[in-house]
A and B are shown apart, each in its own frame.
Chain A
Amino acid sequence: MAQHSTDSHAHGEDHAHGSLKSYIIGFILSIILTIIPLVVVMNHMFQATATILIIMITAVLQFVVQLFFFMHVRDRTGNQPRWNVMALIFGLAIVLVVVSGSVWIMAYNGVGY
């Protein structure tokens, strides 16, 4: 009986919780996106601004890869609203406010020494 029921799960949830293929694609993409900034930084290939840009862009891309291929944010049951995506977007917006706001406010008060 256990066999039967688990079979039905495997069928029903193949799409819902990702497949081996999507995990492998995600893994490979993550490795590539990690190696790019590492190579760029360790070999001092570009100017500072370009390096910073590359580091941040690959980081964000890799975050997106993790979200889609590992954490399956696209999943949803039925046609319910995507609460998880909404919460994530709002959360990221607040993080952006916290980080950039702090930097902006503290820029004038930076007692760097």
Chain B
Amino acid sequence: MLEKIKDFASDFFVTGDPLIYGADVSIGLAMIAIVVGLTYFKKWGWLWRNYLTTVDHKKIGIMYILASILMLFRGGVDAIMMRTQLAFPNLEFLHPEHYNQVFTTHGVVMILFMAMPFMFGLFNIVVPLQLGARDVAYPFLNALSFWLFFLGAMLFNLSFVIGGSPDAGWLSYPPLSELQFNPGPGQNFYIWGIQISGIGSLATGINFIVTIIKMRAPGMTFMKMPMFTWSVFATCVIIIFAFPILTVTLALLFIDRFAGAHFFTLDGGGNPMMYINLIWMWGHPEVYIVILPAFGIFSEIVSVFSRKKLFGYTSMVFAMLIIAFVSFFTWAHHFFTMGSGADVNAFFALSTMLIAIPTGVKIFNWLFTMYRGRIRFDLPMLWTIGFIPCFIIGGMTGVLLSVAPADFQYHNSYFLIAHFHQVLIGGVVFGYFAGMYYWWPKMFGFKLNETLGRWAFWFWNIGFYVCFMPQYLLGLMGMTRRISTFDWDTGWGPLNVVSTMGAYLMGVAFLFQVLQIAYSIKHREVDTTGDIWDAHTLEWSIPSPAPEYNFAVVPVVDSRDPLWVEKQRRAAGKLPKNPPKPVYAPIHMPKNSSIPIIMSTFFFIAGFGFVFLWTWMAVLGLIGVAGCMIARSFQYDTDYYIPVEEIEKTEASIRGTV
């Protein structure tokens, strides 16, 4: 009996690597600390009522961003470990198998569990406020999306301590990811972690499309919508068309592994190349999914901090929509070397080059917005200015890669690694950081410390170039991606040392940011105006942080920069000094619900059952999911009204402190 348990445990838990034991201990300690802390301060009820069961888009947004910063830490540690292993030739810091796991989880975590939730967090916090809405279209679904993402991410991360991590690369190409070559549960963790969080992403896409179509403030036509909201709209369009493809692709891979089907196997008529074809149909639009909101953020910031209107609003909108459309026509450039024939390669090379044009239009629009503006260099603007050169270089190396014949040289080399890190860090990460600094005061009512933020900014920027510029050269010297070590005689040693130093600089930068947040929470620079940046759009017309119902009175909009125009009118004396007392009406709000977190937990249980092929557990989880859906279907009492007296009280107490 004891032997049996021992056997099971040695299979079940990941063993053998001292690094993992260390991580086990620290994870255990952190969890104990959280539980003890919550119990000691008697915060469980508060947590449950205010966060775990909330349907408030602002709180959901905060939880998204919190989770994504945690994931940034995890993915960052993976990156540091890889760079450490590659610092010198023939190092034995990570075993090759462990190295495979580390680069796989680094990619998955960074794209799907860091970038995506960071993006969704900003969507949640900003979009309803920019639209002048009380919430998103489907608040319940929104909460469900968050918990599906979160528990999907947790399921994926569980592979670190239980069962073993996936190790077939971030897109897990077959045949390596098939049962034949990868019999362990790691690959199943990959499939189910992404699948569960993917359902959440799809639901968020639908949710925000309907929100934007249906819940804009009166007078806000589509062409008066703030640019960030436009970018969210374009992104969500891509999400709803791309994510079903991912769902199917991963499902097919799982059916291969679970039911012995032959979609992507080497025998039985399967074709692994079909997987590569399908996954990139999602994968390429996915990179535009994460970059478009960053473009939206930069557009907002550039115009506010240049004290000008955004240059070329209409062209910005069309550029974004064209990018969204063309992004579905470029996927084959990820596998030019697969051998699909000259005509296929020519078509996809051209479409790839084509997509650089609207992107270039946007860059010029930002530059022209800054031109002759009175620029303020606060943190959001600093990140925006850091982004522009970085993204231009990254974009141009992308055009180099799009030349199909040349790509046979670049393919899977460090040149490619440097390229996509430059657009993803320089574009996406810088963009989301800019957004975080910009909207942080709106989220919490206080500003993040400027000095520490500048330290973080410079460490990130310098670290970035030190880390990735050498990698372009390494790629041209023939260093391929995913190798776990190299020999002295390759001559790659010096540049790798430099690259590793850059990675550590970025690690320091992250620590500065953590310090910055901690410091700013302790020494709050409280903002009482609600409009700390002298901004243009509706979210800044209400107090920071926004009250539960956002807008006591639904605003009426007649221009693209409603708040700015109103401020100008007021300054010109065109508006009455003391506006008449607003007339409140009862506000219709959704009720909190515990179903999202419970249902997602059942999804987690089902996913865990599928990972270990414990059918009883999977069935149990699925029954739970169905039960939650039924319970929700029979729930009719899902919303309530905030009475006028309460609105008056709340408004008086927030505005009273002004």
A residues with a Cβ closer than 8 A to B are 83, 90-91, 94, 97-98, 101-102, 104-113
B344 at the A/B interface (Cβ < 8 Å)? Answer: yes
Chain B residues with CB under 8 Å of A102's CB are 274, 277-278, 281
Contact B340 A97 (CB under 8 A): no
Q: How far is the CA of A108 from the CA of B269 in the complex (A)?
A: 15
B595 at the A/B interface (Cβ < 8 Å)? Answer: no
Q: How far is the CA of A94 from the CA of B278 in the complex (A)?
A: 13
Contact A109/B241 with A98-B281, A102-B278 known, Cβ cut-off 8 Å? no
Contact B328 A108 (CB under 8 A): no
Please, what's the 1-or-0 string for B256-294, where 1 marks a CB less than 8 Å from any CB in chain A? 000000000000010101100110010000000000000
Chain A residues with CB under 8 Å of B338's CB are 109
Contact A98/B340 with A83-B213, A105-B277, A106-B271 known, Cβ cut-off 8 Å? no
Chain A residues with CB under 8 Å of B331's CB are 101
Q: Is the interface of B mostly helix, strand, loop or mixed?
A: helix
B171 at the A/B interface (Cβ < 8 Å)? Answer: no
| Closest partner residue, chain B, to A94 (CB atom) | B241
- Residue in B245, B281, B340 whose beta carbon sits within 8 Å of that of A109 in the complex: B340
Contact A108 B237 (CB under 8 A): no
Contact B278 A108 (CB under 8 A): no
| Closest partner residue, chain A, to B338 (CB atom) | A109
B582 at the A/B interface (Cβ < 8 Å)? Answer: no
- Residue in A94, A97, A98, A108 whose beta carbon sits within 8 Å of that of B344 in the complex: A108
Contact B274 A101 (CB under 8 A): no
B residues with a Cβ closer than 8 A to A are 213, 237, 241, 245, 269, 271, 273-274, 277-278, 281, 328-329, 331-332, 338-341, 344
Chain A residues with CB under 8 Å of B344's CB are 104-105, 108
Nearest Cβ on chain B to A82's Cβ, whole angstroms: 11
| Closest partner residue, chain B, to A102 (CB atom) | B277
Nearest Cβ on chain A to B110's Cβ, whole angstroms: 26
Contact B241 A105 (CB under 8 A): no
Contact A94 B339 (CB under 8 A): no
Chain A residues with CB under 8 Å of B329's CB are 97
Contact B277 A108 (CB under 8 A): no
A–B complex contacts, Cβ < 8 Å, 10 sampled: A90-B237, A101-B281, A102-B274, A102-B277, A102-B281, A105-B277, A105-B344, A106-B271, A107-B340, A109-B273
Contact B241 A106 (CB under 8 A): no
Q: How far is the CA of A90 from the CA of B328 in the complex (A)?
A: 11
Contact A108 B245 (CB under 8 A): no
Chain B residues with CB under 8 Å of A108's CB are 339-341, 344
| Closest partner residue, chain A, to B281 (CB atom) | A98
> Which are the 6 A-B pairs with shortest beta-carbon distances?
A108-B341, A109-B273, A94-B241, A108-B340, A105-B340, A105-B277
Contact B273 A97 (CB under 8 A): no
Contact A106/B281 with A94-B241, A97-B329 known, Cβ cut-off 8 Å? no
Q: How far is the CA of A78 from the CA of B62 in the complex (A)?
A: 37
Q: How far is the CA of A37 from the CA of B269 in the complex (A)?
A: 30
Nearest Cβ on chain B to A102's Cβ, whole angstroms: 6
Contact B274 A106 (CB under 8 A): yes
Nearest Cβ on chain B to A111's Cβ, whole angstroms: 6
Contact B271 A109 (CB under 8 A): yes
Contact A113 B269 (CB under 8 A): yes
Q: How far is the CA of A80 from the CA of B510 in the complex (A)?
A: 47
Nearest Cβ on chain A to B267's Cβ, whole angstroms: 10
Contact B271 A94 (CB under 8 A): no
| Closest partner residue, chain A, to B342 (CB atom) | A108
Contact A106 B328 (CB under 8 A): no
Chain A residues with CB under 8 Å of B273's CB are 106, 109
Indicate the member of A91, A94, A105, A112 with the most B CB atoms within 10 Å. A105
Contact B277 A111 (CB under 8 A): no
Other CB < 8 Å A-B pairs besides A94-B241, A98-B245, A108-B344, 15 of them?
A90-B241, A101-B277, A101-B331, A102-B277, A102-B278, A105-B277, A105-B340, A106-B271, A106-B274, A106-B277, A106-B340, A107-B341, A109-B340, A110-B271, A113-B269
